[in-house]
Amino acid sequence: MYKIPLQGQNIIAQGNALGCDVSALQAGNFQPITKKELMNMKNYHFALILFLLFAVGCGGNYTVSGKITFPDDTPLTEGTVFFSSGDATLTGTINEDGTFSMTSGELKGVPKGTYAVSLGFQTETIISSGQQGVPPTVIKKPLPFDEKYLFAERSGLVCEVKGKTKFDIKVEKP
């Protein structure tokens, strides 16, 4: 015996829409679900949805932020912070005051784990004149920190994320 939540003529239409055997519907091999059973199903589905949302949220991402400074406490005023673990690399933009906050694609934050940390810096900017025959302007800037920080395996910087994390970095000048 099958139970369905509809009664009367709606059963046949629903049966056809769901690919059910209409003769079984007409023969009465289905009986309506009681209101109590329907409420139990709704409660079950609601609990399942809450559980899935909670499970996804619990594995979630954590805020990782910090400040990058030189030994004299002046901030690194631009660049990018990279957190690498396996095949994943997360990025954070360094603000003018040296602070950064990590992101993971579209999401904010970083999953639990241990990350090798490196820095990036744009040493060359090309500005087009917009006019044909006029060469672009190239602005070059020296790397403001020791080049070892460009490589996660050489930087010596490691961050372990177990929850909300503050990770301040001191970098050496070249």
Tokens 């961050």: give the residue.
159
Q: Are strands 113-120 and 103-104 parallel, antiparallel or unpaired?
A: unpaired
Task: Tell me the pLDDT tens digit for each residue of 112-129.
Answer: 999 999 999 999 888 888
**Predicted structure pTM score:** 0.61
Domains of the chain: 2-58 (no CATH), 61-170 (2.60.40.1120)
Task: Tell me the pLDDT tens digit for each residue of 146-172.
Answer: 999 999 999 999 999 999 999 999 999
Question: What are the DSSP E strand ranges found in 37-154?
Answer: 61-62, 64-69, 80-85, 88-93, 99-101, 103-104, 107-108, 110-111, 113-120, 124-127, 137-140
